[in-house]
Structures are given as C-alpha cells and as structure tokens.
Amino acid sequence: MNLEYFVKALELNKKPGFSDSSLRNRIFEILNQLLKSRDSVFIQLKERQNEFFELVYLLISYSEVNELWWWTNEEISKVAQECLMYASQAYCNENNEKQGYFLETVFERVYNSKITSSFSDSSRVIVNDKIKYKTSQDLYTDNPSWKTANLNSVSSAVWFLKNLNSRFLDSVYLEFVPTVSTLLEDYEIKFKLVGLEMTRVICNRVELGKIKSNGVQNLFLNIVEKLLVVRREKGGQLLLTESVNTYITMILKFYEKSSSEYIEKLYTLFFTAIIQNFMYAGDEFSFQIAIFENINPIVEHLGVHTVRYLSTLVKEFQMVLEMDIYGTEVVVELMISVSKSFIKIIDACWPRIHVYIEPILGSLVLCYISISKPENKSIKQMPDLKKLLYQIYTSTTMVDKEKSSEFINLMTKEYPQLAKDLKIISV
C-alpha cells in the first residue's frame, strides 16, 4: 500500500449519496490501515510530495466533526488526527524542521489550491470595509463546488482556523475572510452557523490590531447584524442564538467596556435581536421562547442601560403571563422562559422597577389564578413556574414595600384567596 492508494481510498467523502454508516465504517477501516502501515507509507513523502500533501489535506477534512460533514464522526476524527501527528513527525524528520512549522507548510501548499479554489464560484474581496464580488460564469449557480464535490474544503478551512499557530494565523487570517463571508451570506442556515463559528474563532485567536487595520471588524459586524432577525423556519431559533453570541463576542473583542461605542453596539444588538423580533415572532411560541432566552446574555453586558427598553419588556412580560394556559405545556414553557428573563431584567434595572410595580404584580396575580385552575395542575413544569413567579414577586416587592403592600391589599379584596396563595408559592 502506498500514498496513492490511501489518497484514492480516502476520497470516498467526495462521492455524493454515500452518507450512510457503512461508508463511515469503511473510512474508519482505511484510516486504521494507514495507522498500522504509517512507517512504510510516510517514508515515500520525499519522492511523492504531491500525494503526501493531498493525503494530509484529506486527513484534515476527517478531523473536524460536525453533522454537516457526514463522512466523519468522533471515532474517525480521533484516528485521522493520530495519522496527522505521525505525518507531521515524518515530514519534520525528513526536512529537519520543528514540529510547529508543519501545519504552516501544509497551509501554504493546499489552502489556495483546495479551499480558495472551491469558493471561486462566489469569491469576493474587501474594499473599504465592503464586499466586492468577482464576477465569473458560475456566479449564479445555486450549487457551488464548496457545497457539493468539495464540501470537505469547508471542514478543512474550519480545522485550519482552529489549529494554526496564533502567530502564523495573524499573518494569513485574511485568506479565511472570503470563505467566512460566503458562508455567513449563504441562504442555508446550516452554512451560516459554520460561518458564525469561524467568525468567533477569528475574534478569539487573531490579534485585535490586525482585525481593525484591515477593515474586517466592520465587515463582520455588518454581516452578523443582518442575521439577528429571527427566521421563522427550522433552525431559525438556533441561528438567532448563535448570531447573538457571535455579536457579543465581537463587541467584547472590538470595544473598550467603558466606551460609548461599546454601549451603542449593545443597544443595536438588543433592539434588533429582541425588540424588533417581538414584532416578527407573532404567535409562534417556539420563536418567542428563543427571543426571551437571548435576553439574559445581552442584559449581562448591558446592565442598567437595559432601562432604555424596560417599558417594552414589561409589556411583553405582561402579555405572556396573562395568557390562559388551557392545560398546554408549551405555554408554561414560554412563561418559564419569560420569568427567567424578567428576573435578570429586575436585577439589572433595579432603580426603575418601582415605576412598574402594579403592572408586574397584577400579571403575577393573573398568572397564578390561571395556573391554579384544575386543568393546569397536572403540567410537569408547574412547580418550576411557581418558584420563578415567587422570585419575581419577592424581587419586585423589595423595591418598594409600601407600594407593593397597598397593591396586594387591594387585590386581596378582589381575590380573597390571594394572601394564602402567596404563602403557598413562597413555600
């Protein structure tokens, strides 16, 4: 068995339609064969360098695990990375190089020929912080090669981004930007998610001065900001969450916490991902839950500045907690999500909560009346919701005990059972 044999054998992942477990089993067997015969195979690298780097590229494509890369899994990835380690040792011994330079050499040999070329159908350049497209005869295809025959070019790009030496990555990261931009702007959510992951890796691994000096900062901010609008389709909730996390990562990377730009970007994030999305979610509970679940990570950084949106948030809080449950678990799930978010909001906006004591407590009363109905008592999540309601009640009443007491007394006259119910909730 020689290098050429293993290159051809491992190109199975390029064949469309072979996405079943039998193919992965075959790949696993081939990789183990390579592992066992590594000494006799890698000794050929001097005479067959092209085949050697082709094999290394294929090993890299098997090393990055993602549900999109149907040709690999954790087991295959582990063996592929072990083969890569031995390939690195063989190359460095042959060329008297340090281990750290191996990946740099591989990157220079295969990135442009394998990855950049796969994205040539929709390639682009950066001019003054904006994307300029390079026209080609295949520009309008909806099946570019990186989505079909060369899908492994995407997984390899992700792997390089995560594993290249940070010093070297600082000097070459711009070569990844067209790939990342293409993925972020693709119409399929699954590829947008890969682009968001790569964006976070660049933010976490590349030196800030490099990112700012090349205009990549504004480019990424502008593209990801467009992804903050919830898409009402499968995967839309996850895309919103990942987009929010990526936008926060960029804000923390690009701006000083005490700066006005830092707060303004958080305002942009909160308005687009939360306030604006309330209008788009409609009556879709799953999308409403996704929006409320993304409030906490933003409020954690926005802090007391969240008061800018407090009036709107209280109204959304009221609308959900005052809904009739009718024995429906998904409504209770939504109420739990809203309650968790509102506890965080109360903590952050403490100085202004006293203005909204009556509407908040009124919603708690109506919610408790609803959950106390016989048809709702069997819902599993009910004890969790009751605990959260009591947390909101306690936090709100502590803001202004006198005003809260007056309101509770008035409500008790209308609902005599309320005083006893509040004690039950506290227990």
Q: Is 69 helix (H, G, I), strand (E, B) or coil?
A: coil
Bridge partner residues of 127 (DSSP): 130
Q: Residue 206 and residue 177: Cα distance in Å, rounded?
A: 12
| Amino acid identity, position 405 | S
Q: Residue 161 and residue 72: Cα distance in Å, rounded?
A: 19
For residue 94, pLDDT beyond 90: no
Q: Which residues contact 210 (CB under 8 A, 6 or more apart)?
A: 170, 173
Question: Which two structure tokens, joined as six digits, stand for 305?
Answer: 């500045």
Encode burial over 233-266: b for 16+ CB neighbours within 10 A, e otherwise: eeebbebbbbbbebbbbbbebbbeeeeeebbebb
For the stretch 301-315, pLDDT in tens is: 999 999 999 999 999
pTM for the whole thing? 0.89
Higher confidence at residue 313 or residue 142? Answer: 313
- HSE toward the beta carbon, residue 376, CA cutoff 13 A: 22
Q: Residue 306 and residue 97: Cα distance in Å, rounded?
A: 54
Higher confidence at residue 266 or residue 415? Answer: 266
Split at pLDDT 50, 70, 90, the class of 22 is: confident
**How far, in Å, are 181, 289, 298 from residue 243 at the CA level?**
14, 16, 12
Q: Residue 172 and residue 169: Cα distance in Å, rounded?
A: 5
Give pLDDT, residue 137. 45
Split at pLDDT 50, 70, 90, the class of 425 is: low
**How far, in Å, are 37, 57, 90, 100 from residue 94 at the CA level?**
18, 19, 6, 14
Give pLDDT, residue 20. 66
Give pLDDT, residue 192. 97
For the stretch 357-375, pLDDT in tens is: 889 988 988 888 888 888 8
Higher confidence at residue 149 or residue 271? Answer: 271
For the stretch 171-194, pLDDT in tens is: 999 999 999 999 999 999 999 999
